[in-house]
Amino acid sequence: MSSDSNGDQNVPCSEEVKTKADEAKDAANKLFQARKYEAAIEKYSEAIVLNPSVAAYYANRSFAYIKTEAYGYAVADADSAVKIDPSYVKGYYRRAAANMALCKFKDALRDFRIVVKKAPGDKDARTRLSECEKIVRRIEFEKAIVVESTQKSLAETIDVTTITVDSSYDGPKFEDGKITKEFIEEMMEYFKNQKKIHRKYAIQVILAVRKIMLETPSLVDIKIPQDSKLTVCGDVHGQFYDFINIFNINGVPSETNMYLFNGDFVDRGSFSLEVILTLFAYKCLYPNSLYLTRGNHETDDMNKVYGFEGEVKAKYNDAMFELFSATFSTLPLAHLINQKILVVHGGLFSRDDVTLDDIRNIERFNKKQLDQGSLMCELLWSDPQSLPGRGPSKRGVGIQFGPDVTETFLKRNNLDLLIRSHEVKENGYVIDHNGKCITVFSAPNYCDTIGNKGAIINITPDLKLSYKTFEAVPHPNIRPMAYASQFGGLFTQ
């Protein structure tokens, strides 16, 4: 249920109806505490329908929407809360949190200032304000010092040969300057023990992948050989121990055990560096058997908020994050399996005439391609909906597309199926749109709170699909978003 169905907020109601509304709100609060956020949203909505003039109902539902990553709806509910009661501090706080999640830092800053002005004794709000101010200042500074496009980036100028490896380093090393299967296996064990590989090897892995990706089209064609299978994995979000459990369940990557990881490798989980270096190393070892799609979290703005930037800088340095940023912008946007199954991170488009050639021709290295309304933005951000047609995004970015939109797109492009990720699902996957749109999500117990299963899809050369689901496995006692500065707790309080 979207937050635009709020009714008339000024309609008076009886004491009996007010009591029923409060009962619905209390039930919603209990569901929220039990982390049953979708059910809580339904109950908050019930309270709002009964009594649409209570700011707290909207603010509470806004927080539940934040929990389900429906940030667009969360902003709308916070708007309603402060419209009903301009003095209601929590409404501004929720709107600030949702706008931070959307990387709308100036909008968030405006609301944090209001919160601090209305509640000067709130130390938490002051901390959030200070952090938000730092981000806004840094973005303005970065804009001011943008170098001319003719000047080469660090990724193009760094000289790895000048970096020496100390004799005390006991981790995995390249053999004759090459990434081997043994190197990757040793690296994964090293990561499991919470150690980091030498920065020289990390840089070499990143640069090697970037070189491959610069020569890769925006839409990659995949042909599954007769003696092989392809496994499509959804978001893994820095949950390294769950990520390597996929290999325990389904086998490690090889020339015949092919993988396609469908975006959102990093952020939220606090072992994102380990995930992405493992994926990049396997991509170097098996360039024609392991594939990587860019997700909406392989972007600078998201990495600032959700932890990856902080993690890389904590474990290595600023320059290392710059290299990752330069490499993320080279990742392809879609994969076409045996000419019949399209795999994208988010979803479809705001218009019906988009062809596969349009996707192939996206100039993905241009950051303006990420702007709202662009094909690239919609590929990374859109979500399916059950109703026909299109609707505004619950996230505040991209669109929502119905079964008729999927059907039209598939017919136009002579395709059988759309596979996408981008959304947590209770059982790890969901089949929508009359079997034509499948969502797969591979981070079980997402953020250590949701309790969902993870899933993967095995695809045979004759395009038969089978699903494997799995539970979360234990990991070291480091909370999700541990490197997300002060905003790590913004979406949990």
pLDDT of 128:
87
pLDDT of 140:
83
- In the chain (493 residues long), the average pLDDT of successive 10-residue segments reads 52 88 97 93 97 97 95 97 96 94 92 94 89 86 64 86 93 90 97 96 97 97 97 98 98 98 97 98 98 96 92 96 96 98 98 97 84 93 97 95 98 98 97 98 95 97 98 96 70 49
Q: Is 492 helix (H, G, I), strand (E, B) or coil?
A: coil
Amino acid letter, 468: K
Instruction: Say if CB 400 and CB 385 are below 8 A apart.
Output: yes
Residue 83 CB neighbours (<10 A): 14
Q: What is the rounded CA–CA span in Å between residue 456 and residue 429? A: 8
Q: Which of 237, 297, 335, 345 is catalytic?
A: 297
Instruction: Say if CB 306 and CB 219 are below 8 A apart.
Output: no
Q: What is the rounded CA–CA span in Å between residue 36 and residue 33? A: 7
pLDDT of 176:
84
Q: List the structure tokens of 7.
A: 């009714």
Q: Cα-flanking dihedrals φ and ψ of residue 395, to 5°?
A: -85, -20
335 is catalytic: no
* E strand or H helix at 258: strand 257-261
pLDDT of 142:
73
The residue among 238, 212, 363, 367 whose CA lies nearest residue 311 is 238
Max Cα-Cα span within the chain: 80
Instruction: Say if CB 378 and CB 346 are below 8 A apart.
Output: yes
- For the entire predicted model, the pTM comes to 0.91
Q: For the chain, which domains are there? A: 15-144 (1.25.40.10), 156-489 (3.60.21.10)
pLDDT of 177:
82
pLDDT of 134:
87
Angle subtended by helix axes 37-50 and 15-33, to nearest 10? 170
Q: What is the rounded CA–CA span in Å between residue 71 and residue 384? A: 16
Q: Is 384 helix (H, G, I), strand (E, B) or coil?
A: strand
